[in-house]
Amino acid sequence: MKALAGVRRVLAAAQRRGRRAPRWLYPAVFAACCAPLLYVAVVLASDLARGTRYLGSNPIREAEHFTGEWTLRFLMFTLGVTPARELTGWNWLIRYRRTLGVFTFFYAMFHWSTYLGLDMMLDLGDIIHDIKKHPYIMVGMAAFLLLVPLAVTSTRGWVKRLGGRRWNELHSLVWPIAAFGLIHFAWGLKKDMDDPIVFASIFAGLFAYRIWRWTPFGRRVALPGAPTAAARSEVASSPA
């Protein structure tokens, strides 16, 4: 009990310090989110147009891997907002959930555009042949297709149209998306499983946190930024 009380004091102190986000933080986060995408776009263009080898001997394939991994990272960041907000009491973090969710979609779209447009040259026959040869591509496509309605309905207008309950049900697809994305990632690598294991462990921890919060004990624990029972019936206008 003393340990729990100590944790609560630490979290309360963090809440007091973080009631408001610095004004510069959102532009800094936005710029940081753009940086990997700008980097890979510039070096890929250089490799293809000028014959440089910033991305190695197969720049298109490396660009696919790079953007695929960043898609998983942004999905992980998006899912991490809720526990971070509840544990610290920094409710302003909710603003970043939609931003991170939209960046997840943008990176996934760049990932698949690179594959379909540059790798397969939009050749339907080659695409079908590649899918038959590498079934993990279909799993990844399924993850992307499930991500599309989440990106489309991430605005306040869609929250109002769908209503809180239906919006939450739709955005619970984020967990199958994470599972499909991890399978696509691990299956594509085949041998080096270090990164997929790390990603899977983090996603498992985020999912375990949600499960704990749904248990009677988890619901009873008063966290600084946890929504009240009344607030749970509403939904914030940002992806889960």
Q: Burial level of 218, CB count in 10 A (0-12/13-18/19+)?
A: middle
**Could you tell me if 112 and 144 are in contact, meaning their C-beta atoms sit under 8 angstroms apart?**
yes
Residue 38 has pLDDT above 80, yes or no: yes
| Residue 163 domain flag | yes
Whole-number pLDDT of residue 18? 56
Q: CA-based diameter of the chain, in Å? A: 65
Give the whole-angstrom CA distance, residue 46 versus residue 43. Answer: 5
Can you say whether residue 85 is alpha, beta or left, with left for phi > 0 and alpha for psi between -120 and 50 degrees? alpha
DSSP count for the chain of H helices, then E strands: 12, 0
- The per-residue pLDDT for 50 is 94
Could you say which DSSP state residue 64 is in? H
Which residues fall within 8 angstroms of residue 81, CB to CB, at 6 or more apart?
Answer: 93, 94, 96, 97, 100
Q: How many domains does the chain have?
A: 1
Residue 89 CA, chain-centre distance (Å), reads: 21
pLDDT at position 236 is: 42
Task: Give a yes or no: residue 219 inside a domain.
Answer: yes
Determine, yes or no, domain membership for 175: yes
* Model confidence band, residue 240 (pLDDT cutoffs 50, 70, 90): very low
| Token pair for 9 | 């004091």
DSSP 8-state class, residue 91: G
Which tokens sit at 114?
């690179």
Rounded average pLDDT over 109-129 = 95
In a domain, 186, yes or no: yes
Q: Is residue 119 part of a domain?
A: yes
- Model confidence over 51-110: pLDDT tens digits? 999 999 999 999 999 999 999 999 999 999 999 999 988 989 988 999 999 999 999 999
Confidence band of 17 (pLDDT split at 50, 70, 90): low
Confidence (pLDDT) at 164: 85
Structure confidence at residue 202 as a pLDDT band (50, 70, 90): very high
Average pLDDT in the chain: 88
3-state secondary structure of 126: helix
Could you give the 3-state DSSP secondary structure of residue 81? helix
Q: Read off the pLDDT of residues 206-236 as tens digits, 9 standing for 90 and up.
A: 999 999 999 998 888 888 888 754 444 444 4
Residues contacting 69, CB < 8 A, separation 6+:
185, 195
Task: Indicate whether 3 belongs to any domain.
Answer: no
Question: What does the alpha-carbon distance between residue 34 and residue 106 come to, in Å, rounded to a whole number?
Answer: 10
What pLDDT score was predicted for residue 225? 81
Rounded Cα distance between 143 and 151, Å, is: 13
pLDDT tens digits, one per residue of 158-188: 989 998 889 989 999 999 999 999 999 999 9
Range of the domain at 153: 8-232
Looking at residue 20, its pLDDT comes to 77
Residue 133, token pair as written in the block: 């040869």
Specify if 45 maps to a domain.
Answer: yes
Tell me the HSE value of 165 on the side-chain side, using a 13 A CA sphere: 1
Distances (CA, A) of 154 to 24, 103, 107: 24, 12, 16
| Structure token digits, residue 49 | 């147009």
Residue 179 domain-assigned (yes or no):
yes
pLDDT, residue 114, reads 96
